[in-house]
Chains A and B, each alone.
Chain A
Amino acid sequence: MYDVIIIGAGPAGVTAGLYTKRANLKVLIIYKEPSGLEKADRIENYYGFENGISGEELYKTGIQQAKNLNIEIKREEVTNIQIEEDKVYKVITENETYHTKTVIFATGNKRNTPKIKGIKEFEGRGVSYCAVCDGFFYKNKDIAVLGNGNYAIAETNELIHIANHITILTDGEKAPEIRADNVSIDTRKIREVRGSNKIEEIDFEDNSKMKTDGIFVALGVAGSSEFAKKLGIITNKDKIVVNENMETNVPGVYACGDCTGGLLQISKSVYEGTKAGLQAIKYLKKDNEKV
């Protein structure tokens, strides 16, 4: 059991790690995709670098700094997070399941909204972003999962025992490996999704069509807005809503850095990572006092 699991290893995540580790907590940082920082060419507006520094170098130095402090860091893809009883969170990656008392999201600014015509329009009317939340409504129905990575597979697995048949739509991307009697894979490019009141049909670029009762969107690597939906965290335009202490509405769950919106700056991420870390420390201390 970890005290703190931090998802993301950019400036916000690493900073939260430094503070919580230095408070002698059992900390794990999990990250998969490169931080927005790594892609930044040259940072010339951050304190203390007289000649500026490349984003990649600052990012790598941050991770090394965390490692030097013996913070456990794993490069894995988080595919699901669940709340268990007694305020324990289960963080599931493609190879492991971890348990933790607190979760800090530092997953950055990435968004996975597909650019397919009709998807946005049918949100909540057949287009879903959360298998565990909405699967129930598709009992014995024919549905589709949009995506081709580990996250798409994880969402498909949530639906296998509920739906009649699942088609994994890769939209032109390569087919993932999955074997189940009621799952098929379709790699055709999608033109648009259509329906009247609810989603009914997928139109492909080769002019063929497919009937469907629902589409679960699971593109790329799941980010903060996907996990927010699974945990019941309030968001505003895909950004996690936090208070001044970086607390979300879910107890023991914090968010910091670009995933909370506002200025996409290192200084803001470092501040919020600090706040989130300190708040998690406070929360865990209170929790221990109760026992």
Chain B
Amino acid sequence: MSVLKFEEGNFEEEVLKSGGKVLVDFYADWCGPCKMMSPIIEDIAKEVEGNVKVGKVNVDNNQELAIEYDVMSIPTIIVFENGKPIKTFIGVTDKNEILSVLK
């Protein structure tokens, strides 16, 4: 399973109603640091495959979601568990730091 695409239309189904942990990467195409986060997110998705759902939200197209979760800086990575945010990482973050929350 690779990195999924979360949007306003599927967020409830894919993230909020999903059992267990879900990692959501808020990004935009114009954001330089987000491009550096991208390969890290892909690596994480491979490592947690089958256990944790990993996806991205484009904040340009999903501004309501960004507002809902107080995303005011990108990249922001939020880990959800049983539909609730349990941990937020702001800025490009080390892979192991994120993995420690997913395990």
Which B residues lie within 8 Å of A197 (CB)?
70
User: How many whole Å from A244's CB to the nearest CB in chain B?
Assistant: 16
Mask of A263-275 contacts with B, CB within 8 angstroms, 1/0: 0000000000000
A194 touches B (CB below 8 Å): no
Q: Which residues of B contact A130 (CB under 8 A)?
A: 33, 73
Say whether B23 faces chain A, with CB atoms less than 8 Å apart: no
Query: Cα distance A233–B59 when bound, in Å?
Result: 21
A123 touches B32 (CB 8 A): no
Establish whether residues B35 and A133, one from each chain, have CB atoms under 8 Å apart when the complex forms: no
A124 touches B36 (CB 8 A): no
User: Is the Cβ of B72 less than 8 Å from the Cβ of A133?
Assistant: no
Q: How many residues of B contact A (CB 8 A)?
A: 26
Q: Which of A2-10, A43-51, A224-232 contacts B (4 or more CB under 8 A)?
A: A224-232
Residues of A within 8 A of B45 (CB): none
Interface positions, chain A 54-113, Cβ under 8 Å from B, are 82-83
Question: A214, B92: Cβ atoms under 8 Å?
Answer: no
Q: Which residues of A contact B60 (CB under 8 A)?
A: 136
The CA of A15 and the CA of B72, in the complex, are separated in Å by 39
A215 to chain B, nearest CB (A): 11
Within 8 A of B (CB), among A118-144: 123-126, 128, 130, 132-134, 136-137
Query: How many whole Å from A143's CB to the nearest CB in chain B?
Result: 11
Interface check B93, CB cutoff 8 A: yes
B72 adjacent to A137 (CB under 8 Å)? yes
**Which residues on the B side are within 8 Å of A232 (C-beta)?**
32-37, 75, 92
Asked if A234 is at the interface of the complex by the 8 Å CB criterion, the answer is yes
Asked whether B31 is an interface residue with its Cβ less than 8 Å from the other chain, the reply is yes
Minimum Cβ distance to chain A for residue B80 (Å): 17
Known: A229-B91, A249-B92. A128 touches B72 (CB 8 A): yes
Interface of B is mostly: loop
Q: Is the interface of A mostly helix, strand, loop or mixed?
A: mixed
B37 & A134 in contact (Cβ 8 Å cutoff): no
- Which among A83, A123, A214, A241 is the interface contact of B90 at CB below 8 angstroms? A123
Query: Would you give the shortest CB distance from B47 to chain A, in whole angstroms?
Result: 16
Distance of A47 Cα from B73 Cα, bound (Å): 46
Given A124-B76, A134-B73, A249-B36, do A236 and B94 touch, yes or no (CB 8 Å)?
A: yes
How far, in whole Å, are A231 and B35 apart by their CA atoms in the complex? 9
Sampled A-B contacts (27; CB under 8 Å): A124-B72, A124-B76, A124-B88, A125-B70, A125-B72, A128-B72, A130-B73, A132-B32, A133-B33, A134-B74, A137-B72, A198-B70, A198-B72, A214-B72, A229-B33, A231-B32, A231-B33, A231-B36, A232-B33, A232-B34, A232-B37, A232-B75, A232-B92, A234-B92, A235-B91, A236-B94, A250-B36
Binding site for B on A (CB under 8 A): 82-83, 123-126, 128, 130, 132-134, 136-137, 197-198, 214, 229-236, 241, 249-250
**Extra contacts besides A124-B90, A230-B32, A234-B94 (20): CB < 8 Å:** A83-B32, A125-B70, A125-B72, A128-B72, A128-B73, A133-B74, A134-B72, A136-B28, A136-B30, A136-B74, A137-B66, A197-B70, A214-B72, A229-B33, A229-B91, A232-B33, A232-B35, A232-B37, A234-B92, A249-B40
